[in-house]
Amino acid sequence: MLVSEFPKLPLRAVLFADGAFSHPEGKTAQGVLRHSTALRPVAIVDRSHPSPTSASVVPGTDVPVVGSIEEAMRFDPEALVVALTESDFGESVDGKFLHTPRDPGDLPVFWWDTIRTAVRHGLHVISCLHARLLETELAGMLAEGQRIIDIRRPYENLPKYSGRLTRTRAKLIHVAGSDCVVGKRTAALQIHREALSRGIDSGYVGTGQTCLLAGCTEGAIIDRTPVFQAAGLVEHLVQRADPRHDLLAIKGQASVMHPAFGGLATAILQGSQPDAVIFVHDPDRGARYHWDHLPLADLETEIRMVEQLGGAPVAAIATRGRAGVRRLSALGLPVADVLDGDGAAVLLDAAEAVWSGPRGARAVGGTR
């Protein structure tokens, strides 16, 4: 994990999110800004961003947005974080973002120039790219002590799934959802933050690149794992985290009914063996993200599927905006926006009620 790579954290970091920071493709940079304990963003590189700071995208933050790594050097960074993958590439056309994903390793010239310049300036490079930068000429440019870390690397020594291992201490909240990019990671980290604010010994199990950049108890890039080994890896991560915490939060990927990613989503759900599930949904979305020809599954059907596959009840629904909360309240479950008021508290209360019984005690812990 990232936290084991450097002796001193947080690192002062420039986030590279060129062309994408204010769009869904900028979710990694947005997540780092909102939640990272491993990185301290000091600047963001995005030539197309119209505002001089990050505040318009992530309220409550005020990080300068600049047009180049050279401009960012005046903020005395220690690292460049390439907070995009090749598939996040897009360009502004007539004021609108046109998503034009590229193949792994097919980087725009500006991306390569930015990374090379960062290395020449002595910065560490932490990359979310599919291309492995350590296998390029950049490795030969490193000075003593300078690092390139390819975040999207496979987990070494993949464990087998047993299905027999039970937790001895932690309760586990799994955050599932109806699609990609609906806010699962934000919900999971806000619930984790709410638990910590209550004095609960909470941990976070990361399943994707932003989770590792944010800082997590245990984590891996699950989508770099063969699907038949993914559940075993999640089981292993949860078991490693269990003895240290009373509560664990874990984020699923995509949707169990997603035609492309359902196998991955199911592996994470079943590998985590949850006690309660928070389900994230955007009621305004009718089609799959980047698959406009594929409609979302029926919401109630998907919730039932998650409960059947995961063996734990959906305790509450997370969404964005008060209008969304009102629309989803008809399902008869608690609904909240995790970024609005006490939204995270509502979701955590609902999860705790699953294992605390009708009296609703807040005690967390015990065996599963």
List pLDDT tens digits, range 318-355. 999 999 999 999 999 999 999 999 999 999 999 999 99
Residue 319 inside a domain? The answer is yes
Question: pLDDT at position 368, please?
Answer: 47
| Whether 145 and 175 share a structural domain | no
Last residue of a domain, one of 150, 185, 212: 150
Pair (309, 211) in one structural domain: yes
What is the phi/psi pair of residue 226, to 5°? -50, 135
* The predicted structure's pLDDT at residue 366: 42
Q: Is 126 a domain residue?
A: yes
Average pLDDT, the chain: 93
Euclidean distance between the first and the last CA atom of the chain, given in angstroms as a whole number: 27
Cα–Cα dist 3/9, whole Å:
7
Q: Is the distance from CB of 98 to CB of 91 less than 8 angstroms? A: yes
Boundary residue ending a domain (115, 150, 185): 150
Number of structural domains the chain divides into? 2
In a domain? residue 114 = yes
Domain boundaries, position 6: 2-150
- Let me know whether 142 and 192 are in one domain: no
In this structure, are residues 295 and 287 in contact, taking their beta carbons and an 8 Å threshold?
yes
pLDDT at 1: 56
- 365 located within any domain: no
Closest CA to 180 of 245, 99, 262: 262
**What is the reported pLDDT for 4?**
66
CA angle 108, 114, 117 (to 5 degrees): 140
Looking at the structure, tell me whether residues 133 and 226 fall in a common domain.
Answer: no
My answer on whether 275 and 182 are in the same domain is: yes
State the CATH number of the domain containing residue 323: 3.40.50.300
Amino acid, single-letter form, for residue 68 = S
**CB atoms inside a 10 Å sphere around CB 142:** 15
Same domain (yes/no): 198, 141: no
How many angstroms separate the Cα of 27 from the Cα of each of 18, 71, 198, 314? 12, 23, 27, 25
- Distance, CA of 141 to CA of 153 (rounded, Å): 21
* In a domain? residue 368: no
User: Are 90 and 222 within one domain?
Assistant: no
| Same domain membership, residue 278 and residue 129 | no
Supply 194's token pair.
């709410």
179 and 144 inside one domain = no
Residue 166 lies in a domain: no
Of 84, 119, 150, the position where a domain reaches its end is: 150
Q: Are 127 and 82 in contact (CB under 8 A)?
A: yes
* Chain length of the chain: 368
Cβ-defined contacts of 284-293 (< 8 Å, 24+): 284/324, 285/178, 285/179, 285/182, 288/179, 288/180, 288/258, 288/259, 289/24, 289/179, 289/180, 289/181, 289/182, 290/99, 290/180, 291/259, 291/260
321 in the same domain as 225 = yes
Residues 258, 324: Cα–Cα separation, whole Å: 22
Q: Is there a single domain that holds both residue 68 and residue 179?
A: no
In a domain, 265, yes or no: yes
- State the CATH number of the domain containing residue 71: 3.40.50.720
Position 155 in a domain: no
> Mean pLDDT per 10-residue run, the chain (368 residues)?
76 96 94 94 95 96 98 98 95 82 95 98 97 96 96 92 93 98 96 98 96 93 94 97 98 96 97 98 95 95 98 98 96 97 98 79 40
Q: Are residues 260 and 200 in the same domain?
A: yes
